Chains A and B, each alone.
Chain A
């Protein structure tokens, strides 16, 4: 059981907007930056969002991150078939003194 809670799955049709949530605690999300990873089938994870809402070079503006209190969200607008992947949130936990991940959300583009 992950310390950060994500819905196991999400789905939407091309062009739609989807939001993936990541729920934590005061010891992790509330006090530390949240980072998001995209893992395409059979590949290594790729940094998608860092420090809550920053996009690395090359990541489309369709991807955005936000955080409020003990929860964070990843929004994907203008959904495309190539966005079908697993998405993970991650942060530091002050109590565990280590890096923690959400359980991951499998996004299906219908």
Chain B
């Protein structure tokens, strides 16, 4: 079982819909990242969380440390939001802080 599980794996929605992507993890963490990857491979960091909630434009990320769960929300979705969204964690106790990644959620927003 992967230490980081994301759902759904694939999501197709209409422009304007509210989008939620979920991430569950099984280890203690120091931080959780939400990343965006467009075709071609480049990865952009959207959020880094260790508690609570963060908002940037139409994107909102929340984390519940006790439940080992995080969500990424997109309000008023737009076709340019189409990408793969990846949850990644920094496991506690590891000296390297190398990220452990989920498999990603492939999001398509149709006009």
Does B bind A? no
Residues on B close to A: CB < 8 A?
A: none
